[in-house]
């Protein structure tokens, strides 16, 4: 008898994340939508991650753990794609959290929009302790067009059709810092994509994550990914096969506590939590005086409506400018 295939495969890769991986797993086990499998690829962790995964998989048969030698996030994600069975695949990073309605909301949308291959929502931004410090939910009337200019999704609240991504060849492994953005663009060129104006989870602002610890490398890679996307739209193919990526550091290194505080302050400023942001910037300035931080600090004294208007204008421009 053939084994029953779940509707959704939740796919998570993890490397040395013993502190947060349990929270991520619990958030999936608490979903209101129950017809899922949870595929976790352990990318050669050397801390207690493997032990934690073993404990959870022993308690819940929906969890399937695959261990491999450390090969990087992109390779681990492709390993996961090779074994998932669901009609839909929901991604989750090991330090993030899915709210209990996430899978239910995305499955319902994809079931009623058969032409859409990728859907995502918004996310609360949380700090290392799990406290909400802001929100990221980029809305646009033309998600495919806006996606050409900026990444409008957080990986941890995205769901896509497995068949579409398999046909596209999965993640491209030469991209190590923005491989998700490259995949979202390629999906948008093959099918419709959608963005929900609903917060579906929490994205952790992590000093050791790609967004912070490899910000420069990620920006460079994003520029290349955008260029390749323009080539495909113009020529029908890109130069990926000729692309030679720089050799990366073997593992990510967390940014300093001072740099992390500046990131937190910027998120709070965007959330118009001006007093809290002011404290963060003031603490930073006590350690090091920089013009850009002085300007950020002074901006916390502006009226809230001015800050809100400026960020709305920034968002409007980013959605439309290349």
Question: Model confidence over 294-314: pLDDT tens digits?
Answer: 999 999 999 988 888 888 887
Query: Please, are residues 52 and 17 in contact by the beta-carbon 8 Å criterion?
Result: no
Distance in angstroms (rounded) separating the CA atoms of residues 137 and 104: 19
Distance in angstroms (rounded) separating the CA atoms of residues 17 and 42: 10
The pLDDT, as a whole number, for residue 251 is: 59
Question: Model confidence over 110-153: pLDDT tens digits?
Answer: 999 999 999 999 999 999 999 999 999 999 999 999 999 999 99
Query: Please, are residues 28 and 14 in contact by the beta-carbon 8 Å criterion?
Result: no
The pLDDT, as a whole number, for residue 252 is: 64
Question: Model confidence over 10-19: pLDDT tens digits?
Answer: 999 999 999 9
Three-state secondary-structure class, residue 57: helix
The pLDDT, as a whole number, for residue 1 is: 45
Mean pLDDT over 211-237 rounds to 90
CATH architecture of 8-206: Alpha-Beta Complex (3.90)
Q: Going by C-beta distance under 8 Å and a sequence separation of 6 or more, which residues neighbour residue 64?
A: 37, 38, 39, 40, 57, 83
Q: What is residue 194's DSSP assignment?
A: E
Q: Going by C-beta distance under 8 Å and a sequence separation of 6 or more, which residues neighbour residue 110?
A: 88, 116, 119, 159, 161
What are the φ/ψ torsions at residue 267 (nearest 5 degrees)?
Answer: -65, -45
Residue ranges per structural domain of the chain: 8-206, 257-320
In the predicted model, is pLDDT for residue 315 greater than 90? Answer: no
């Amino acid at each position: 008898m053939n084994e029953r295939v779940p509707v959704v495969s939740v796919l998570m890769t993890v490397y040395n994340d013993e502190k947060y991986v349990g929270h991520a797993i619990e958030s999936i086990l608490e979903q209101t939508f129950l017809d899922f499998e949870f595929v976790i690829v352990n990318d050669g962790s050397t801390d207690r991650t493997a032990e934690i995964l073993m404990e959870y998989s022993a308690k819940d048969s929906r969890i399937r753990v695959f261990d491999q030698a450390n090969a990087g996030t992109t390779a681990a994600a492709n390993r996961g794609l090779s074994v998932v069975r669901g009609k839909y695949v929901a991604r989750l990073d090991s330090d993030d959290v899915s709210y209990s309605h996430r899978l239910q909301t995305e499955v319902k949308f994809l079931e009623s929009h058969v032409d859409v291959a990728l859907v995502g929502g918004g996310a609360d931004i949380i700090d290392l302790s799990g406290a909400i410090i802001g929100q990221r939910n980029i809305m646009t009337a033309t998600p495919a067009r806006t996606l050409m200019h900026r990444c409008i999704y957080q990986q941890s609240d995205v769901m896509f059709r497995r068949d579409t991504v398999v046909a596209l060849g999965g993640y491209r492994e030469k991209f190590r810092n923005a491989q998700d953005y490259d995949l979202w663009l390629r999906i948008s060129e093959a099918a419709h994509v959608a963005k929900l104006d609903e917060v579906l989870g929490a994205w952790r602002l992590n000093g050791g994550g790609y967004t912070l610890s490899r910000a420069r490398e990620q920006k460079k890679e994003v520029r290349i990914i955008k260029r390749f996307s323009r080539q495909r739209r113009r020529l029908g193919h890109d130069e990926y096969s000729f692309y030679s990526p720089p050799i990366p550091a073997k593992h990510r290194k967390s940014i300093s506590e001072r740099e992390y505080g500046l990131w937190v302050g910027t998120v709070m400023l965007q959330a118009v939590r001006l007093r809290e942001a002011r404290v963060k910037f003031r603490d930073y300035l006590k350690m090091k005086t920089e013009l850009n931080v002085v300007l950020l600090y002074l901006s916390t004294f502006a009226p809230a409506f001015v800050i809100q208007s400026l960020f709305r204008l920034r968002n409007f421009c980013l959605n439309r400018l290349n």
